[in-house]
Amino acid sequence: MTAESLAELGRKLDRIVSEYLKLRYQGGKVISFPSGKGGVGKTAITINLAAALALKGKRVLVMDLNFALPNIHMFLDEAPEATLTHYLGGEAELDEVIGKVFVKDTHFDVAPSESIVDFKKKINIEKLNDAISLLKTRYDCLLLDPAPGLSKYVFYPVRLSDHVFIVSADVRPAYMDAMKVLKLLETSKINHEGFIVNMVRGSELKYFAAMNVFAVIPYDGHLKKAFLAGRTVFHSKMGFLSPSKKYFEKMADEISSTFLSNSQST
Ligand X SMILES: Nc1ncnc2c1ncn2[C@@H]1O[C@H](COP(=O)(O)OP(=O)(O)OP(=O)(O)O)[C@@H](O)[C@H]1O
Applying CB under 5 A, the residues found at the interface with Mg ion are: 42-43
Rounded to a whole number of angstroms, the minimum distance from the CB of residue 264 to ligand X is 30
Minimum CB distance to ligand X smaller for 194 or for 218? 218
Q: Edge to edge, what strands does the sheet with 29-32 contain?
A: 99-103, 106-111, 60-65, 141-146, 29-32, 163-169, 194-200, 213-218
**E strands of 82-210, at which residues?**
99-103, 106-111, 141-146, 163-169, 194-200
179: buried, middle or exposed (CB in 10 Å: 19+, 13-18, 0-12)? middle
CA angle 66-142-205, nearest 5°? 70
Give the per-residue contact string, 135-154, with ligand X (x = CB under 6 A; - = no): -------------x------
Give the per-residue contact string, 84-103, with ligand X (x = CB under 6 A; - = no): --------------------
CA 251 – CA 261 distance, rounded (Å) = 14
Minimum CB distance to ligand X smaller for 103 or for 217? 217
Minimum CB distance to Mg ion smaller for 144 or for 260? 144
Confirm or reject binding of residue 224 to ligand X (CB under 6 A): yes
CB of 43 closer than 8 Å to CB of 71: yes
Minimum CB distance to ligand X smaller for 128 or for 223? 223
Helix or strand run (H / E) with residue 5: helix 3-25
Confirm or reject binding of residue 199 to ligand X (CB under 6 A): yes
Confirm or reject binding of residue 35 to ligand X (CB under 6 A): yes
Return the range that interacts with ligand X (CB under 6 A); candidates 23-31, 39-47, 101-109, 114-122: 39-47
User: Quick one: which of 101, 164, 223, 260 contacts ligand X (CB under 6 A)?
Assistant: 223
Minimum CB distance to ligand X smaller for 194 or for 263? 194
User: Who contacts 228 (Cβ-Cβ below 8 Å, separation ≥6)?
Assistant: none
CA 110 – CA 63 distance, rounded (Å) = 6
Among ligand X, Mg ion, none, the one that 252 touches (CB under a kind-dependent 5 to 8 A) is: none
Residues at the site binding ligand X, with contacts judged by CB under 6 A? 35, 38-44, 66, 69, 71, 148, 198-199, 217, 219-220, 223-224, 227, 244
